[in-house]
Amino acid sequence: MSPTVDEPTVPADQLAREVARRRTFAIISHPDAGKTTLTEKLLLYAGAIELAGAVRGNKSQRHAASDWMEIEQQRGISISTAALEFELEGCHVTLLDTPGHQDFSEDTFRTLLAVDSVVMVLDAAKGVEPQTMKLFEVCRSHGLPVLTFINKLDQPALDPFELLDQIERVLGLAAAPMNWPLGDGPDFRGVYDLESNSILFYERQEKRGRRTAPVAVASPSDPAVETLIGERRQRELIDSVAIIAGAGTRFDADAYRHARQTPVFFGSAINDFGVEPFLRGLLTLAPPPAPRMAGADIVSPTDRDFSGFVFKVQANMNPRHRDRVAFVRICSGRLQKDMQVVNPRLESGLRLSRVYRFFGRDRETVPEAFPGDVVGVVIPGRIAIGDTLCAGRRVVFPPIEQFPPEQFAYLRPSEGRHKRFDDAVAQLAEEGLLQVFMPTLGVRHPIIGVIGSLQLDVIAARMSSEYGIPCTVDRLPHVAARWPMAPVAQLQLPLSGVVQATDRLGREALVFESDWVLRYTIEKNPLVEFRSSM
């Protein structure tokens, strides 16, 4: 029997209003397309920060608000999803800045499960790149609406029609331009808004961050346009708008909401150009929270019973706290501080006494939160990635898939502080950053499994900087781990090339040195299932 829990009530009209004004989205891109820069500039225009930080630069420059880890600041890349919340024009916005590097794609995958829409950033000179394609497939599989921002128009770029064609041809997503670039690189003059018939000028001598008002015109053929941008650019604009009107994709709100079409905006994030109209479009077009499936049940955000799920766990966000924060996406009802909930996996009640809202690494306590919000709760050891939290009606959201590790290494402490070392490794494993395999024979150092090699560098850096435990990472040639659905003692194994181990939950696992050894083991044990994840 489930533990008794508090069932906080909230007036239905208040809950509906709060849900309607929520906008929860993630930003995805290939590395170096300008994702984190766009994140910073969105926050700047929203008034959430006073000065946009430098993603790269010397030590005197500010770092991006979403890149709060020391290793992120050193390398100028995002390696962990950051939650940033702010209010703007009556909307409560939750922005999740995801890692762009493929080695951290599992963190991005989990984050995409927690949002209602996505912003896709493309480099105007490169178009759709491999990591963008991989992340978009996750968006497609979950039916997430996508808005596109084509960045870096201040640099030489592909033809805008070629960029739209790439989106349609490579991603299979209709592309509807919302504005149109006037040149690119040294010849870039601004964008023409196709809906409002106005020109937003880009002037290089302006101070970055200064906001210019668009100039309204009657149409691309208005004589005023020639005065503003010159005869040649006007002629090019007239031709482009004619092609869009005749053969282009018109924006269709229903097609966007059902993930069949993406509205496309052009601009230059680093120069603060085109960001403000994109942000206005985001608030207008992006959907509020929608119903979610929990097994056979449909959970509506306006259901009065509280529910949510954990999609991320993060340790050591603030050196003063040294706690582990579980990030919860609220799916229905109202969360209140100190309320009692159930974790169905443990069949136990939990009191949410510490509930936080985050802005990067900065946190503040919140008395309540609503569907669409992402909050952090601190209950060490009692919440894991994929857990459902609920009050009142019992629901269980689908488990979150763990990616099979592809690279392996022994992790050894440089000094003999083994108790702290084991605790630190366990915390990083709780985050989903690594998987731990303890050999049952021979060497008694843990084998860590990760998706990509850069994660091994991150693990070593975080063990040193956050836990004060310098470590040696000895990379192994092994390529795969499997969990046999039969006792290892009953298996026919090759004489070499496979490590017998247990994972952090004590389950038997095998780590294989080559694909050939893996295939051999499967062939010799035809009646046994070998799972790639648990």
Domains and CATH numbers, the chain: 24-285 (3.40.50.300), 292-390 (3.40.50.300), 407-531 (3.30.70.3280)
Which uninterrupted H or E stretch holds 401?
none
Q: Higher pLDDT residue, 267 or 49?
A: 267
Residue 3 has pLDDT above 70, yes or no: no
Contact yes or no for 410/445 (Cβ under 8 A): yes
Give 322-368 pLDDT, tens digit per residue.
Answer: 678 899 999 999 999 899 999 999 998 999 998 999 877 788 899 99
Nearest to 99 by CA among 123, 71, 126, 125: 71
Give 260-308 pLDDT, tens digit per residue.
Answer: 999 999 999 998 899 988 999 999 999 999 999 999 999 999 999 999 9
Q: Return d(Cα 216, Cα 528) in angstroms, integer.
A: 70
Mapped onto helix, strand or coil, the DSSP state of residue 293 is strand
| Greatest mean pLDDT range, 165-169, 320-324, 402-406, 440-444 | 165-169
Residue 104's Cβ-side half-sphere holds a number of Cα atoms within 13 Å equal to: 26
User: In sequence order, what E strands does 360-507 have?
Assistant: 362-365, 368-369, 374-377, 388-390, 407-413, 435-439, 447-450, 471-476, 480-484, 498-503
Q: Please give the structure tokens belonging to residue 269.
A: 């994030």
Q: Please give the structure tokens belonging to residue 259.
A: 């993930």
| Mean of per-residue pLDDT scores for the chain | 87
Whole-prediction pTM:
0.87
Q: Please give the structure tokens belonging to residue 108.
A: 């991005």
Q: What letter represents residue 210's amino acid?
A: R
Q: Please give the structure tokens belonging to residue 375.
A: 């909050």
Q: Please give the structure tokens belonging to residue 98.
A: 């995801």
Q: Residue 75's pLDDT is what? A: 54
Q: What share of the chain is helix, strand, coil (3-state, %, to 5)?
A: 30, 30, 45
Rounded to an integer, the average pLDDT of 360-388 is 89
Q: Residue 318's pLDDT is what? A: 67
Give 59-113 pLDDT, tens digit per residue.
Answer: 333 444 444 455 555 555 556 678 888 888 899 999 998 876 777 788 889 999 9
Number of neighbours of residue 516 by Cβ within 10 angstroms: 12
> How many separate helices (H) and strands (E) can be counted in the chain?
13, 31
CA distances from 360 to 22, 63, 314 (A): 19, 11, 12
CA distances from 429 to 25, 70, 163, 238, 411 (A): 26, 19, 40, 57, 13
pLDDT bucket at 445, cuts 50 / 70 / 90 = confident
